[in-house]
Structure 1
């Protein structure tokens, strides 16, 4: 093994060439992992016709990937410490790329679902490992900027996925939504092997087998129950309640176990850090609201306005452009002045942009909607990654891997809850309006053109209003984020200070963040 890499050069607050190279490798892996979720969602109707399967069956291609993510994320913090971030990152890329190839070779829906599990096992560790690698590479004074870099695929994935997936299916076949990962994966593996610093030997903690047996299946069961809500349209269903309750019970049991164990799978003592706790609460509310609302954007354009999936993806693109404008600025500002004021401003912008969608009609001008999405994107660039920075900046070197794992669990869980909640609210809004229900049923069977003109117009307007009413709930959830966000650090000194060591100096006294 080579000697450990020295501490990052934080004398300059700019990202040096070495950090940018590491960032490029991490972003490449993150793009593959995040794009794959949204790309596959576009292909579900194709899978139905290709494999002669029901929607509930092909939906498992999404659910299996999500459950594999949930199962593997908790162990990524321990595994990074035990095996080294470079080895584990390379292994994750190999698993994801191999899973992609097997998906493309699937001859039936069963093998496709199995290959998606393998993909999820690799993809689940890419994001938490990427956050750990980049945080250690940049050092505590530049966490905001590296989080801004990592935020690009997190924001653009839901936008670029529908565009890429729709285009590949139109010009080639469904196999290419998976085969495209092969060349990207090969480049990513080679780049990670060359660019990431070698791992150094270090003492490892005993693996928490009981914690693993409680948390991973607990999260998977809970998310399975939550993900089943849209299919059944209610929480009061055995297929929803039984796995969700069992999963929740296992997670609660893990909490009691983790608080008694010296080295648990996820160190819940991190919540003694006030900055991390506030960031987790803020992120939880934010992810539920934004990920849930994000599900509705393409639905409105496709189901109400009759656009193609590809066109819907293009119409949503201004959101990503807005985020690209503010994200680099937000990263620099967060490192210099803390995330508090920035996040508050970002939440307000998101609420203003999303508020436009509460007034949806069947003929709302596209210019107005795209402008609202751009404003939302400006807010997103000022919100998600600064919250991440608030969570990770005051952690010590040994806590970074566990902290990034914890934040990724929050994101995965919050995203699933948000998607389920908004789906059920939208479904109930449609069911409670006969015109909306009639029009929606016709859209699902692609027979809306057969409706009489008066029923078509009334149904289209009613369906648009159902989407608008659902956005009211999303806006309220976004505004609730202002409460915990108010307590985020508002200065660089406050951000770097570990609240568990008040009165003992600033973060310069904490163990340095170094590459390993």
Structure 2
């Protein structure tokens, strides 16, 4: 992300307000990533769509974030951190307003793209502002403070979304961003340093175009695979063009003087394995925040707020496991923990194919808490192993690449689950809730099996390798 230290650390009295500004932006982004899930059935009713076809609302947001993340550092260096951060908040608020005003699914998807473009810049540019304002020895503590909203957002998002749908309307999950965003704009203008416009290297527009088109084409192709007929054929063509574009980016990067991601990054074994492991293991786990509230409402008859509250054990399980991750990795090593944990994660995802209408809520809560804990351990271990061997010069670029892969995997995971669910719906039919439940069960089983593919990747890690200090800070480990 350019030269981090072009500005000296600012005075201590100016630093704490800056942390609150960046934390607010992070909170907006993480809250919106989870608050939508419980509102999807209500959105579908208002827009005249099937609830099982609403995954594009989530895919559009994640994909837009993945596409813009690689350019975040260059934009901040070229135009200044405050200007880009405020533009990101403005885009996010504009997208929220457009979402609230949307009357059709295509309009809502387009508005989510605008919202995702703003969300893509909030954390990377905010982190850059903190890094330039704080001495190196205080950076980890500062980012630990900023990371707190990243835990609070998913904790309250599903329940808040369900409450708004039940007692107001789904539009309010987007309107609530407007006052928060306006406060963020005023605070950023007041407390964030403008940031010097740096003499940055030229932007690799060709490489960026190839990478962005490749990611978008592959994701949209996965989403369209279940359409059948001409739609499946066009998705196959799009998939081929997307893969060709990604291959062309790699060949371009090998001969470019200033590529987005230098090929030397991939000389690091743990980075290669970690990125691919992130991609494949997240394909299964990323669909769960979309699938669980949907099956609870569509097939099991839960109210929106009840469905949102049922997601709380997942977040609590995630938080409970974090303190023991380092101990387990030190005791057994990254490869051993990730291989075993990936198998456990796959089994837990597949176990949701056993849910029934008469299942006691406490049993479902235990199941969700176990999934949250295992999923949290997976994220913490594989994110850390991805970045742990990068030197200081490559740490920022590697982190941006990891963030891009994470968002791409989230979008592709939801797209894949939506495609599989639509295929099984066509097989089982949709005459009643029982038919739909069969489609959900089969989809959970498939996504669990899909997650197992990552074990072959994690087996390529060195055996019994303990952790080492993380190069960027604790917020990247979750």
Alignment partner of 2:95 out of 86, 94, 99: 99
Q: What's 2:7 paired with?
A: 4
TM-score, structure 2 normalization: 0.79
Counterparts of 1:464-503 in structure 2, within 5 Å, are 464=437, 466-485=439-458, 487=461, 490-493=465-468
CA apart distance, 1:356: 3.5
CA contact (8 A) 1:349 1:375 kept: no
Residue equivalent to 1:419: 414
Contact 1:128–1:404 (8 Å) recurs in 2: no
2:200 maps to what in 1?
A: 204
- Comparing 70-79 and 274-283, the one that deviates more: 70-79
Equivalence for 1:266: 261
**CA–CA separation in structure 2 for the residues paired with 1:22 and 1:313:** 32
Q: 1:176 aligns with which of 144, 166, 172?
A: 172
The answer to which of 106-115 and 253-262 deviates more is 106-115
Q: What is the deviation of 1:130?
A: 4.9
Structure 2 CA distance for aligned equivalents of residues 417 and 249 of structure 1 = 18
Equivalent position SS for 1:206: coil
Max Rg structure? 1
Aligned to 1:79: 75
Structure 1 residue 374: Cα displacement:
0.8
Is 1:285 aligned with 2:299?
no
1:166 to 158, 162, 165: 162
**Does residue 368 of structure 2 align to residue 365 of structure 1?**
no
Deviation at 1:352, TM superposition (A): 5.5
- Map of 1:386-405 to 2, 5 A cutoff? 386-405=381-400
Assess, with a 3 A threshold, how the Cα gap between structure 1 residues 52 and 294 changes in structure 2: closer, same or farther: closer
Which consecutive unaligned segments of at least 5 residues does structure 1 have? Answer: 8-15, 444-459, 497-506, 508-516
- 1:306 counterpart residue number: 301
Q: Is the 8 A contact 1:42 1:165 kept in 2?
A: yes
Determine the C-alpha separation between the residues in 1 that align with 2:451 and 2:105.
38
Q: Relative to structure 2, which stretch is displaced further, 27-36 or 210-219? A: 27-36
Cross-structure match for 1:153: 150
User: How far is 1:56 from its partner?
Assistant: 10
Q: 1:300·1:467 contact (CA, 8 Å) conserved in 2?
A: yes
Task: Count how many residue pairs are aligned between Structure 1 and Structure 2.
Answer: 465
Residues 346-392 of structure 1 deviation map (CA, whole Å, 9 limit, x = unaligned): 54653454354243334233222211211121223322134323333
Q: Please tell me whether residue 253 in structure 1 is matched to residue 248 in structure 2.
A: yes
The TM-score, its normalising length taken from structure 1, stands at 0.74
For 2:188 and 2:207, the matched residues in 1 are separated by 30
Q: Deviations over 1:67-103 (max 9, x none)?
A: 5334322322322343344442232122212332344
CA distance in 2, matches of 1:308, 1:407: 36
- RMSD of aligned alpha carbons: 4.3
Partner Cα distance (2:321, 2:164) in 1: 30
CA distance in structure 2 between the aligned counterparts of 1:334 and 1:87, rounded to whole angstroms: 41
